[in-house]
Amino acid sequence: MGHSAISVDDTLKIIVCREQQKKLSAPEMELVAAKQERFTSYHCSKTNKIPKKKPLVVIGVLTPFGRKSNRDAIRKAWMGTGAALKKMEDKKGIIVRFIIGRSLDRDIDNENKQTNDFNILVCSRSL
């Protein structure tokens, strides 16, 4: 009978894998619970509308003015636009928005009218 020996390095790798598996099990159980709840709120509005789904995660992507090409690259790579963005929100509970400060930049206003994927911060000063 041939016996196979495991090296110390292989044993350490196995231990590290088991530790990682333990760390992942709690979030996996939370994810399963969230999927079972379907991200829905148990509170209905006074108008008895269907409860709106709760987001699982909200991702804010900071963006400066004049970087439309960068935003378009993000939309194309993983964020999506239009129906794809809405589907990601409705089906997966993932909300993604570009975060930008308020200015008088009409290009940003026009881009937001087309894509509806901005959260424009408004700062108010009291003098």
Which pair of structure tokens corresponds to residue 62?
Answer: 């900071």
Q: For the chain, how many structural domains are there in total?
A: 1
Q: Is residue 108 part of a domain?
A: yes
State residue 103's pLDDT score: 65
Q: Determine, yes or no, domain membership for 5.
A: no
Q: Which domain holds residue 89?
A: 57-121
| Tens-digit pLDDT profile for residues 21-49 | 777 676 667 766 666 665 543 433 344 45
Is residue 126 domain-resident?
A: no
pLDDT in tens, 95-110: 889 888 776 778 888 8
pLDDT at 125 over 50: yes
Kindly state whether residue 78 falls inside one of the protein's structural domains.
yes
The values of phi and psi at residue 4, to 5°, are -105, 135
Question: Is there a domain that residue 34 lies in?
Answer: no
Residue given tokens 């690259």 in the structure block: 73
